[in-house]
Amino acid sequence: MSDISQALLRTRVIDSNRERKEKGLLRTRTKVTLDPEHTNSFEVDDLPYINFSSNDYLGLSRSDTVIDALQKGAQAFGVGSASSPLVVGYSQTHQQLEQVLCQATGHQSALLFSSGFCANNALMKTLFKHGDTVLADKLVHASVIDGLQDSGATLKRFIHNDVEAAAQHITKLAPCALVTESVFSMDGDIAPLVELSSLCQQHGMWLIVDDAHGFGVIGENGLGATALNGNIKIDAQVVTFGKALGGQGAAILGSHELIDYLVAHARHYIYSTALSPANAVAVRAAVDAIVKQPSLNEQLKQNIACFITACKAKNIRLTGSTTAIQPIIIGDSASTLAIAKRLKEHGFWVGAMRPPTVAQGSARLRVTLTTAHCTDDINAFVAVLADILQDA
């Protein structure tokens, strides 16, 4: 590399970091020390915090049953798969998890990935190509957007959760598929899946649903988008294991033909080491727990209701979300960071979401509720938050 090239790259890195820092948008990592006794708390620099930013909605990452399954899986099959799925990395544990997921969702076939980002990206990048038009909700995840851009397809986006706007785009553009989330990760609202499914069936389009934040907590028995009331036909569904299931990895679910096509063409799948077999065993146990322990979802619903009630009593404006994701819109990035910092000074850890993760002017606290929270935690947090917002 020439001196000029090195200087250019150094300048690019330094200037970008400086610019983002000045705008309050520079992302950094935080090393936490987990508390083995309390599932919703941790320490940072020896200071304890109650965690209101976790996606472990049902507390299954600390479930004795799931942990035992992971340990037994590791003892039986090792801690890694040792190769890609198309070499010798695909085992009976992977196949069994795929079968369990198909039984839970009603799909014919499934394909496992090591993360939800990879699964979404692979599906979009592999399924679509130049000349296709794909319609997506304005707020779909970055992994969907990146995959569609890489595919060469034309991406058009409709107003968030607006079925009429989607219908107008369909009439004008005749897209081949519509992509949405079930529960939106930053807003916590639920897509009108019944109406969108009907619209897609009417126009002969595919409906693709990113069910990352829905599977485990919405639908009958918590089994996600396909288990919601109503006639919902989903052609491809992405389920991630790192949210309500408390594990790691993801799956694409669909027809035999779709999965066969992805096995043959999806570079993310072909050239990546397969999901750990021990993780597959643990996720299978987590799915089983969701079905057999409805009390988990009942506890989560109670905690969500407790939070909403407490916020109303303190005149804290919420967005109307009924899920575990409860955004509190602040607007300005600097103010959002300042409020999150003050909450940490009182022992509460909350995510401060800023652009480009959310739209300009909509920076927010992303409060997430889990089964691990108790009423005292929630009420104490809301009381402190109300005082801080009043001073802001």
For 55-94, b/e burial (b = at least 16 CB within 10 A) is bbbbbbbebeebeebbeebbeebeeebeeebeeebbbebb
Write phi, then psi, for 136 (nearest 5 degrees). -135, 150
Structure tokens at 48: 């304890």
Going by C-alpha positions, the residue among 173, 92, 107, 84 that lies closest to residue 134 is: 173
CA distance 282 to 130: 39
* Burial of 170: CB neighbours in 10 Å, binned 0-12, 13-18, 19+: buried
**Of residues 181, 189, 235, 377, which has the active-site annotation?**
181
Active site residue 55: yes
**Of residues 243, 272, 276, 373, which has the active-site annotation?**
243
**Of residues 107, 169, 213, 373, which has the active-site annotation?**
213
Coil vs helix vs strand at 365: strand
Write phi, then psi, for 122 (nearest 5 degrees). -65, -45
What is the DSSP annotation of 49-93? EEE-----TT-GGG-HHHHHHHHHHHHHH-S---S-IIIII--HH
Active site residue 40: no
**Of residues 187, 210, 235, 377, which has the active-site annotation?**
210
**Of residues 185, 279, 303, 362, which has the active-site annotation?**
185
Decide if 286 contacts 60 (C-beta within 8 A): yes
Active site residue 81: no
**Of residues 94, 125, 141, 373, which has the active-site annotation?**
141
Active site residue 160: no
Active site residue 185: yes
**Of residues 51, 54, 55, 297, which has the active-site annotation?**
55
Active site residue 213: yes
Catalytic residues: 55, 141, 181, 185, 210, 213, 243
